[in-house]
């Protein structure tokens, strides 16, 4: 039995007796005390008082697997949840275990030394953010892998909206914005055979409490804490995100997920520049197809783009 099992009984400002914990866990009070000490050694601030018991001194922002799992109301996502202080990238860490890992395994890290965005771009991963990768194994053909990206994007936008009242929107193909500033990015990598998807690694990077003042201005980044004027509880954010993702992934084959994804778009109706491996195109984003493609009205007609980098243009920045 690990120290983290005691966490489910502790809350900020709420006393619980050692006797009650011992009874419910089927261990001695001395064993409870030993586990409390184990939690303190991990950085938890726990008060102890004769006749009253134990309580957490404050709500913590530690990326600790036990703390996150203690308030996680999911059925399959995050049941195997692994937290690290520093990794090269959470996608690389996930890749090393993906074939054997159970569906819904989650890898989290405080920082990444070689975080990656799309097209192998570097991704800044300072302390205070949420840098994680989900290992997902839905029973769908490779041709429907786009449904995963749609479901995760929708879930992230809904979680941020519900928790903080921020109007998070989805910038095609895989960013989340607050206004015109980026708050989250998604990187999905898949392993598949001709007729089926073996697994998808969904990398998620959220500027939660990260200091974005050092980021280049051209990144146009913001953070949740900057937008709401206070630090947020990352464990609470992660719990809500995983709950929303599980719920949305469970219905990813339904038309309504596409409808939600489309309705949350900040790209539709905008004049944009899209850069693909075959070149670039400028036009108006007139629609989003059910397979995730962007439909762009250009001078030469409607252009269908399945993947690429998209820039929302201002009038003064338009060009070919």
CATH of residue 95's domain is 3.30.930.10
* Residues 103 and 155 grouped into a single domain: yes
Domain of residue 310, residue span: 271-317
With a pLDDT cut of 90, the percent of the chain lying above it is 64
What is the number of domains present in the chain? Answer: 3
Residues 132, 78: one domain?
A: yes
pLDDT of residue 123 exceeding 60: no
Q: Is residue 218 domain-shared with residue 160, that is, in the same domain?
A: yes
CATH number assigned to the domain comprising residue 29: 1.10.10.10
**Of 31-40, 126-135, 203-212, minimum mean pLDDT range:** 31-40
pTM over 0.95: no
The residue among 172 and 213 whose pLDDT is bigger is 172
Which stretch of 91-105, 131-145, 146-160, 302-316 has the lowest confidence by average pLDDT?
302-316
Q: Do 96 and 225 share a domain, yes or no?
A: yes
* 215 or 266, greater pLDDT: 266
Looking at residue 274, its pLDDT comes to 93
Question: Where does the pLDDT of residue 320 fall: very low under 50, low under 70, confident under 90, or very high at 90 and above?
Answer: very low
Task: Label residue 1 by pLDDT band (50, 70, 90).
Answer: low
Q: What mean pLDDT do residues 78-104 have?
A: 94
Mean pLDDT of 201-228: 90
In this structure, are 180 and 134 located in the same domain?
A: yes
Q: What is the pLDDT of residue 42?
A: 66
Same domain, yes or no: 275 and 258: no
Does the pLDDT of residue 11 top 80, yes or no?
Answer: no
Q: Give the model confidence (pLDDT) of 162-190 as tens digits.
A: 999 999 999 999 999 999 999 999 999 99
Give the model confidence (pLDDT) of 271-309 as tens digits: 999 998 888 999 999 999 999 999 999 988 999 999 888
Same structural domain, 70 and 135 = yes
Residues 48 and 90 in one domain: no
Average pLDDT over residues 17-28: 90
- Pick the range with the lowest mean pLDDT from 46-50, 55-59, 186-190, 219-223: 55-59
How large is the average pLDDT for residues 11-15? 73
Based on the fold, state whether residues 169 and 243 are members of the same structural domain: yes
DSSP secondary structure string, the chain?
--GGGGGGG-BBTB-B-HHHHHHHHT--HHHHHHHHHHHHHTT--EEEETTTEEEESS------HHHHHHT---SSTTSSEEEEEEES-HHHHHHTTTTTSPTTEEEEEEEESS-B-GGG-B----TTSEEEEEEE--S--GGGTHHHHHHHHHHHHHHHHHHH---EEEETTTEEEETTEEEEEEEEEEEE-SS-EEEEEEEEEE-SS---TTS-GGG-B--HHHHHTS---HHHHHHHHHHHHHHHHTTTTSHHHHHHHHHTBSSTT-EEEEEETTEEEEEEEEEE-TTSPEEEEETTEEEEESS-EEEEPPGGG---
Domain identity same for 51 and 181 = no
pLDDT at 67: 82
What's residue 124's pLDDT?
67
Chain segment 192-209, per-residue pLDDT in tens? 987 889 999 999 999 999
Q: Per mean pLDDT, which of 5-14, 55-64, 109-118, 285-294 is the most reliable?
A: 285-294
Residues 137 and 74 in one domain: yes
- Clarify whether residues 40 and 137 are in a common domain: no
* pLDDT for residue 86 is more than 60: yes
The CATH number covering residue 284 comes to: 2.30.30.100
Minimum mean pLDDT range among 215-224, 228-237, 280-289, 295-304: 215-224
Looking at residue 10, what is its pLDDT?
A: 76
């Amino acid at each position: 039995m690990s120290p983290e099992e005691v966490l489910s009984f502790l809350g900020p400002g709420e006393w619980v007796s050692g006797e009650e914990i011992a009874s419910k866990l089927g261990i001695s009070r001395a064993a409870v005390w030993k586990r409390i000490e184990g939690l303190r050694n991990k950085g938890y601030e726990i008060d102890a008082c004769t006749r009253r018991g134990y309580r957490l001194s404050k709500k913590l922002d530690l990326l600790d697997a036990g703390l996150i799992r203690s308030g996680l109301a999911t059925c399959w996502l995050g049941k195997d949840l692994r937290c690290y202080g520093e990794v090269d990238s959470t996608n690389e860490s996930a890749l090393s275990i993906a074939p054997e890992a159970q569906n819904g395994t989650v890898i989290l890290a405080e920082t990444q030394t070689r975080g990656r965005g799309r097209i192998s771009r570097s991704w800044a991963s300072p302390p205070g953010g949420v840098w994680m990768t989900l290992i997902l194994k839905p029973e769908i053909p490779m041709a429907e892998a786009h449904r995963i990206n749609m479901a995760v994007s929708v879930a992230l936008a809904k979680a941020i909206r519900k928790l903080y009242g921020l109007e998070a929107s989805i910038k095609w193909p895989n960013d989340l914005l607050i206004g015109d500033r980026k708050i989250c990015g998604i990187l999905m990598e898949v392993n598949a055979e001709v007729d089926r998807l073996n697994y998808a690694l969904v990398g998620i990077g959220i500027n939660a409490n990260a200091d974005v003042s050092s980021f280049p201005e051209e990144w146009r980044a913001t953070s949740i804490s900057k937008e709401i004027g206070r630090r947020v509880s990352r464990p609470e954010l992660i719990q809500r995100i995983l709950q929303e993702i599980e719920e949305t992934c469970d219905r990813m084959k339904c038309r309504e997920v596409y409808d939600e994804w489309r309705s949350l778009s900040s790209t539709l109706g905008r004049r944009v520049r899209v850069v693909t491996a075959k070149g670039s195109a400028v036009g108006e984003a007139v629609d989003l197809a059910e397979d995730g493609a962007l439909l762009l009205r250009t001078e030469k007609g409607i252009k269908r783009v399945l993947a690429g980098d998209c820039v929302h243009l201002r009038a003064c920045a338009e060009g070919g």
